[in-house]
Amino acid sequence: MWVVAVCSVSPANVTHYSIIMHMTLTQQVQTDMVDAMRKREELRLSTLRMMKAALQNKRIDKRADLDEKEELQVLTTMIKQRKDSIEQFEKGNRPELAAREAQEIVIIETYMPKAVGEEEIVATVRAVIAEMGSPTMKDLGAVMKNAKAKFGDARVDGKLLSEAVKKQLAEK
């Protein structure tokens, strides 16, 4: 997250300068927590507190500050936990708790880079399979590895990727 401040030197002089400062994800969560407190947004505040606690615990475990990739990994883990919780709450016939978890996922995802869409995943898997020749189900791991490499640092849902690879290999 970048914060930009633009200031003018004087009204008569049109000279402007910018101060650009990089905010870490942890700092952004703290800032948004204060904002949520002021606006009395209880769900957002509790979710931000959980995010801050998870980031702080990871920082303590590492005994050093987290880099951006590690911070995003913590949030990815939180999203996965909530998806599992939704599944369990729906099995237990608790739709109100599942809805709350889904709302928390939406809040957490606002801090994540945009995820790769299903269509893009399928297209990439097809391209990887075409490059590899005619892989079979035995080559599932190799296809997954090559597909993940194509996406680089982009956020990809592993479950969606796995399903797409299995579907494409089954069609062969």
CB under 8 Å to 33, separation ≥6 — which residues?
A: 45, 48, 49, 52
CA distance 114 to 96: 27
Q: What is the pLDDT along the chain (172 residues), one digit of tens a residue?
A: 444 444 444 444 434 433 445 688 999 999 999 999 999 999 999 999 999 999 999 999 999 999 998 999 999 999 999 999 999 999 999 999 999 999 999 999 999 988 888 999 999 999 999 998 878 888 899 999 999 999 887 888 888 899 999 999 888 6
Three-state DSSP state, 163: helix
In a domain, 12, yes or no: no
Same domain, 139 and 82: no
Same domain, 149 and 128: yes
| Domain edge (last residue) among 55, 84, 109 | 109
Same domain, 89 and 132: no
Residue 39 maps to which CATH number?
Answer: 1.10.1510.10
Question: By residue range, what is the domain housing residue 46?
Answer: 25-109
Same domain, 92 and 130: no
Q: Phi first, then psi: what are they for 134, rounded to 5°?
A: -130, 75
Entry pTM: 0.72
Task: Take residue 165 and report the two structure tokens written for it.
Answer: 């690879």
